[in-house]
Structure 1
Amino acid sequence: MGDILTKAEQDRIAAAVRAAEAATIGEIRCVIAPRVVPDRPAPVLAWAAGAALLLPALALLAGLRPEALTRLFGGWSVGHAAAQDGAILSALLVYLALQASVFALAAAVLSIPAIRVRLPTGENAHQRVHRAAEHYFLSSDLRATEGRTGVLIFAALAEHHVEVLADEGIHGLAPKDAWSGVVAELVAGLKAGDVADGFVAAVGRAGAILAEHAPRPAGDDRNELSDAPTILR
């Protein structure tokens, strides 16, 4: 956790959340994801099959000949036309064996978790981050506030993407374009290389929006959620 935010930076964000929530019924949660792992596995067998089809073909274009492999492994050269069929069959078998070997090796390598998470899944980075933010929102205590007033500010660092989600008690109160300013504040901080400053500015902007459209009634000092930022593993 300290690799992304120091304790002092975490405390700054928590203080910004407390200050923002002082004037609103909204409950703000800041979440940082170093990298969003796809929630569905990449099709390893499909990638391995593609490698098995493509790599031997590229080897042929580069000058490799299956009959050369048969000689390498102890096969006899053919000296008369009647034996050509046997040579062709032998070359085809070697080529198929080469494809099978490439397939097995590629499947083994691509199944390594650190490699598999980087394989394309047909879902772009923004879709993946949006899905991860929604999953966090729906599965966390943000949905447990009394008036459904949770607001999620979610940043995926590796994907360079930010999401802001508001629960149904807040969502319809402020215009949709108001939240673009929250995103802009956070993105500016991330681009400058200061995660904490970005979140503090984004929380401040969110607090102003929430105070205008969902103010806190006098005498209500409830704080239903932790103010500390969450860093996903």
Structure 2
Amino acid sequence: MLFNDADRARIARAITDAEATTSGEIVAIVNTRPHRYTATILATAVLAAFVLPFGAVLAGWTPSALIPDWDVLDAATRERHAIEAYVAVQAGVFVAALALVALLRLDRILTPAPLRRDRVHHAAMIQFRARGLTATQGRTGLLLYVDEPEHVAEVIADEGVFALVCADEWADTIAALIDGIKSGRAADGMVAAITRAGAVLSRHLPPGPDNVNELPDTLIEL
């Protein structure tokens, strides 16, 4: 568990304090569920089923290891049985590789980092829309999203914020989120990131006369 009740209270208080200085709306979400990369599992199994039997044939393997009477078969029967044996070996390698990668959870290791980051970004965008950040008055929603298994952080701003704040201004916020996760101080990192994000928002989006709190200040844990 990354956060206890005291941590959650600190984070909620940090969001409330930050939003008091701006018309922006901050939402903090942390995902702790590992991703499964199904495409990687299937691709690895297919590659193994193609390469390993082919490599075995090049190394001198013959179906005689599977068919006891191989040497006495006629040429046509041997050819048919060879194809059948090769297909059977491919099927066995495919199933074995599929089970091995899935059970040992090797799919994350075998998936390139850019693809894993894309998965996190996609998940963050889903949460951004689902949590109402596109429905605030003035379109001033800001999502701080942390994927703990991947050690990736995203800051996603709605159009009212995006039009005023350049992407470079979120660098310190993202660094605080990632440093907190990597150092095992997730709550400290989240509080620091919220404080820094609030400072950026307050410079560009000061609070209006009716600074209504439109979104929940509590930490959302997935």
- State the secondary structure of the residue aligned to 1:185: helix
Q: Percent of pairs identical after alignment?
A: 41
- Note the C-alpha offset of 1:37: 3.4
Structure 1 residue 26, shift from structure 2 partner: 0.6
Query: How far is 1:95 from its partner?
Result: 2.2
Q: Output one character per residue of 1:102-144: Cα deviation in whole Å (capped at 9) or x when no partner.
A: 345555x389699597474996122221222122112221122
Identify the residue that residue 156 of structure 2 maps to in structure 1.
165
Q: 2-side partners of 1:133 and 1:117: how far apart? A: 21
1:54 corresponds to: 51
Corresponding residue number in structure 1 for 2:64:
67
Partner of 1:200: 191
Conserved? CA contact 2:140–2:159, under 8 Å: yes
Root-mean-square deviation (CA), in Å?
3.1
Instruction: Give distance in 1, aligned partners of 2:119 and 2:144.
Output: 16
Paired residues, number? 221
Cα distance in 2, alignment partners of residues 50 and 26 from structure 1? 49
Please give the TM-score of this superposition, normalised by the length of structure 1.
0.80
The one-letter amino acid paired with 1:161 is V
| Runs of 5+ consecutive residues of structure 2 not aligned to the other structure | none
Partner Cα distance (1:196, 1:122) in 2:
25
How many angstroms apart in 2 are the aligned matches of 1:189 and 1:122?
Answer: 20
Alignment of 1:125-144 (within 5 A): 125-144=116-135
Q: 1:191 to 1:44 in 2, by over 3 A?
A: closer
Kindly name which structure, 1 or 2, has the bigger radius of gyration based on alpha carbons.
1
Instruction: String of CA shifts for 1:9-58, please: whole Å, max 9, x gaps.
Output: 011100000000011111100111124636x8527655443232122234
- The answer for unaligned runs of 5 or more in structure 1 is none
TM-score normalized with structure 2 length: 0.83
Q: 2 CA distance for matches of 1:41 and 1:121?
A: 13
The residue matched to 1:210 in structure 2 has which SS? helix
Please give the alpha-carbon distance, in whole angstroms, between the structure 1 residues aligned to 2:102 and 2:155: 33
Moved more, 223-232 or 132-141: 132-141
Shift of 1:200: 0.3
Picking from 205, 208, 231, the partner of 2:221 is 231
